[in-house]
Homo-oligomer: A and B are copies of this chain.
Amino acid sequence: MAAPARKEAGPLEDISRLSLNQMTTDQWDLREAVEGCVRAGIPYIGLWRHKVAQIGLKESARIVKEAGLKVSSLCRGGMFPAATEGELKERIDDNRRAIDEAAELGTDTLVLVCGPAAGKDLEKARLQVARGIEAVAPYAEERGIKLGIEPLHPMFAADRSVIVTLGQAVRMAEAIGAPNVGVIVDVYHVWWDPDLYEAIERARGRIFGYHVNDWVIPLPHPVLHGRGMMGDGVIELRKIRQAVEDAGYRGPIEVEIFNERLWHMPGDDVLTLMKQRYLETV
**Using an 8 Å CB-CB cutoff, how does the interface string of A203-219 with B read, 1 for contact, 0 for none?**
00000000000010111
**A153 at the A/B interface (Cβ < 8 Å)?**
yes
- A155-B153, A223-B155, A233-B158 are known contacts. Are A164 and B217 too (CB-CB below 8 A)? no
**A100 at the A/B interface (Cβ < 8 Å)?**
no
* Structural contact, A127 and B158, CB atoms closer than 8 A: no
**Using an 8 Å CB-CB cutoff, how does the interface string of A100-137 with B read, 1 for contact, 0 for none?**
00000000000000000100111110110011000000
**A192 at the A/B interface (Cβ < 8 Å)?**
yes
- In the complex, which residues 116-174 of chain A have their Cβ closer than 8 Å to any Cβ of chain B? 117, 120-124, 126-127, 130-131, 153-155, 157-159, 164-165, 167-168
CB distance from A235 to the nearest CB of B (A): 7
CB distance from A175 to the nearest CB of B (A): 8
How large, as a class, is the contact surface on chain A?
A: 35 or more
Contacts of A217 in B (CB 8 A): 158-159
- Beyond A121-B236, A154-B193, A168-B195, 10 additional contacts (C-beta under 8 Å) are A1-B127, A126-B194, A153-B154, A157-B192, A158-B217, A159-B217, A164-B192, A167-B194, A218-B222, A223-B223
